């Protein structure tokens, strides 16, 4: 969805990639020349639109500060690739809370990720961070989506998905159903729990971002039988996401996000052979949205 302003002059472009763990921003001039990058707190819409705009605003201000420029929303055209825009109510609320910007284009972070990863050419991505989603872009520029239904029922192979399953090992250890080991001790440290009751308190307060903080332990203890099974299953889920979008197995595939590279050894061999390093990230894809918003506003 694109909103435009009739008095557009296009001073600055902002490409914004927002998810459940953080926000990344690219600041560019009106010609698309990068001036600065910055990051901020979570801005996935599932965490609330006011929080999303606060995180985005903070990150944008940091980018302007880094570039030594004064920050004014009215001089900015924004392209946003955000988790959660498939929820129409969340998207409507996000747009309703928008500041007075020159132009605003909002799409799924999956779309901006595939746009950036393959430079606008045909290909498939699986974005693996706090959440997960797969997307493909065909030669005609049509984007298709697989997965990304959200935590806790979806987002297979995401950080939150891994963490939700990793903590089960700790629960079993605390009950005596499994022996204590180095992995359970690391999980205790990450949750701050000391016993069953304190873990229950942590679980009651945990959201997708909190569960995602446990995901690195699965890779760290990959030789543990339970962790190994989790990683094997995650790799299979990534394979299913890709195959749903490219059943003939013809398109290049990029694993993106913070967990993209760690998951490479665990995806099915047929997909591993088609893996390509992303050309650019979701924030760069979002910057392209900002450029398009400029054109549509003229």
Tell me which H or E stretch contains 127.
strand 123-128
The whole-number pLDDT of residue 124 equals 97
47: DSSP letter? G
Task: Identify the bridge partners of residue 126 per DSSP, sorted by sequence position.
Answer: 134, 255
The whole-number pLDDT of residue 91 equals 95
54 close to 97: Cβ distance less than 8 angstroms: no
The whole-number pLDDT of residue 298 equals 66
104: DSSP letter? E
Print pLDDT tens along the chain (298 aa): 444 333 334 489 999 999 877 899 999 999 899 999 999 999 989 889 999 999 999 999 999 999 999 999 999 999 999 988 889 999 999 999 999 999 999 998 889 999 999 988 999 999 998 889 999 999 888 899 999 888 899 999 999 999 999 999 999 999 999 999 999 999 999 999 999 999 999 999 999 989 999 999 999 999 999 999 999 999 999 999 999 999 999 999 999 988 999 999 999 999 999 999 999 989 999 999 999 888 776 6
The whole-number pLDDT of residue 20 equals 78
Domain coordinates in residue numbering, the chain: 2-119+281-297, 122-277
142 close to 163: Cβ distance less than 8 angstroms: no
Q: pTM, whole model, 2 decimals? A: 0.77
100 close to 218: Cβ distance less than 8 angstroms: no
Look at the domain 2-119+281-297 and name its fold: Nucleotidyltransferase; domain 5 (3.30.420)
The CATH class for the domain spanning 122-277 reads: alpha beta
């Amino acid at each position: 969805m694109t909103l435009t302003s009739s008095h557009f002059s296009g001073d600055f472009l902002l490409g914004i990639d927002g998810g459940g763990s953080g926000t990344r921003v690219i600041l560019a001039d009106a010609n698309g020349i990068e001036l600065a990058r910055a990051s901020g707190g979570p801005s996935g819409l599932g965490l609330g639109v006011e929080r999303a705009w606060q995180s985005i605003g903070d990150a944008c201000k940091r980018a302007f500060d880094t570039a030594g420029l004064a920050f004014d929303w009215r001089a900015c055209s924004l392209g946003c690739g955000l988790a959660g825009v498939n929820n129409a109510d969340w998207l409507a609320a996000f747009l309703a809370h928008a500041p007075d910007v020159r132009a605003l284009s909002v799409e799924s972070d999956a779309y901006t990720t595939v746009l950036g990863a393959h430079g606008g050419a045909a290909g498939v991505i699986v974005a693996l961070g706090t959440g997960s989603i797969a997307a493909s872009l065909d030669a005609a520029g049509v984007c298709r989506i697989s997965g990304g239904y959200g935590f806790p029922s979806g987002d297979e192979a995401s950080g939150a998905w891994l963490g939700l399953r990793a903590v089960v090992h700790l629960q079993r250890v605390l009950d005596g159903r499994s022996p204590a080991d180095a992995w359970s001790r690391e999980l205790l440290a990450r949750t701050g729990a000391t016993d069953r009751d304190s873990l229950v308190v942590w679980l009651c307060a945990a959201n997708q971002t909190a569960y995602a903080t446990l995901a690195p332990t699965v890779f760290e203890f990959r030789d543990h039988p339970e962790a190994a099974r989790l990683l094997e299953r995650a790799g299979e889920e990534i394979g299913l996401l890709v195959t749903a979008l490219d059943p003939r197995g013809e398109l290049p595939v990029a694993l993106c996000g913070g967990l993209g590279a760690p998951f490479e050894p665990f995806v099915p061999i047929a997909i591993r052979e088609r893996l390509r390093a992303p050309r650019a990230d979701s924030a760069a894809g979002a910057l392209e949205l900002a450029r398009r918003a400029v054109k549509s506003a003229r």
